[in-house]
């Protein structure tokens, strides 16, 4: 789930063929659907205001699809199992690769600019690069003994600060931190999938509060985007393995 201009874009599995639904950002009215050729399994989407396009990750084919606003599509390989997407201040695409514990940075045309190994993070799900070059990374899923959010050096070599640890549902713990958003002041929003909540952290990764608690979600949150201008947090929730819905929360 992401936004671009006055529209919201939602990945939607439908009848064995995944597509992108486009909604009005004010009324949430469905405007149109965009088909993505040769798609197998959509897992995340992000947008770039600079080049006016969407990036969609296909975890089964291990590639990135770039989709412009007219629906024209190109793609390039990642060559490792990709998971989360974000765009940095240089308008490049940041791809988090789950099993190999890497971050890959691509140009808007699909040129691999660099990859960063994360030796101390198991199963990273999503990464956002800060203005100073450091990374905010969430990692750890079912079966992992450590599940947390980390601030990592630009070269990936060391963890500067972390929040979380052993899995749990108490304050300071995560069950499955799966997706992130960072605002203009570098406050961090964390989707905790299995605990069904969204946590707000300070720029130094100290706990502030629960932005959305478990009793406000009907299903488990899966992805989010932050609309700072309208003070809204958009989340997608996975109802079952082949169905995705959306929820909106006013901040």
Q: What is the pLDDT of residues 179-219, one digit of tens each?
A: 999 998 999 999 999 999 999 999 999 999 998 887 877 77
Say if residues 49 and 39 touch (Cβ distance below 8 Å).
no
Task: Report whether pLDDT(74) > 80.
Answer: yes
68 lies in some domain: no
Lowest average pLDDT, out of 6-10, 28-32, 39-43, goes to 39-43
Q: Is 18 inside any structural domain? A: no
Question: Which residue range is the domain that position 170 belongs to?
Answer: 118-251
Q: Mean of the per-residue pLDDT values for the chain?
A: 87
Q: Which of 187-201, 202-216, 221-235, 237-251 has the lowest mean pLDDT?
A: 237-251
| Residues 31-47 pLDDT 10s | 988 888 777 778 899 99
pLDDT at 245 over 70: no
Q: Considering the domain boundaries, does residue 98 fall inside one?
A: no
pLDDT of residue 201: 97
Long-range contacts from 54-58, C-beta under 8 angstroms, 24+ separation: 54/2, 54/4, 54/9, 54/20, 55/85, 55/87, 55/93, 56/11, 56/20, 56/85, 57/82, 57/83, 57/84, 57/85, 57/95, 58/82
CATH at residue 158: 2.120.10.30
pTM above 0.85, yes or no: yes
Q: Is residue 188 included in any domain, yes or no?
A: yes
> What is the domain count for the chain?
1
């Amino acid at each position: 789930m992401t936004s671009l201009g006055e529209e919201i874009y939602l990945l939607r599995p439908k009848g064995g063929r995944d597509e992108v639904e486009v909604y009005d950002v004010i009324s949430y009215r469905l405007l149109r659907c965009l088909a993505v050729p040769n798609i197998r399994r959509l897992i995340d989407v992000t947008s770039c205001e600079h080049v006016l396009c969407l990036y969609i990750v296909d975890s089964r084919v291990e590639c990135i699809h770039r989709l412009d606003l007219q629906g024209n599509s190109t793609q390039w390989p990642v060559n490792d199992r990709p998971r989360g997407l974000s765009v940095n201040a240089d308008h490049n695409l940041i791809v988090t690769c789950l099993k190999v514990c890497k971050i890959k940075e691509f140009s808007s045309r699909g040129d691999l600019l660099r990859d960063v190994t994360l030796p101390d993070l198991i199963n990273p799900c999503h990464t956002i690069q800060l203005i100073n070059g450091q990374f905010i990374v969430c990692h750890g899923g079912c079966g992992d003994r450590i599940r947390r959010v980390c601030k990592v050096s630009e070269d990936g070599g060391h963890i500067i600060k972390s929040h979380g640890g052993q899995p749990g549902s108490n304050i300071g713990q995560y069950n499955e931190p799966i997706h992130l958003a960072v605002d203009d002041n570098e406050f961090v929003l964390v989707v905790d999938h299995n605990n069904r909540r969204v946590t707000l952290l300070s720029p130094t990764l100290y706990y502030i509060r629960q932005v959305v608690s478990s009793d406000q979600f009907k299903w488990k949150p899966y992805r989010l985007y932050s609309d700072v201008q309208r003070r809204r947090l958009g989340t997608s929730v996975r109802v079952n393995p082949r169905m995705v819905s959306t929820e909106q929360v006013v901040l």
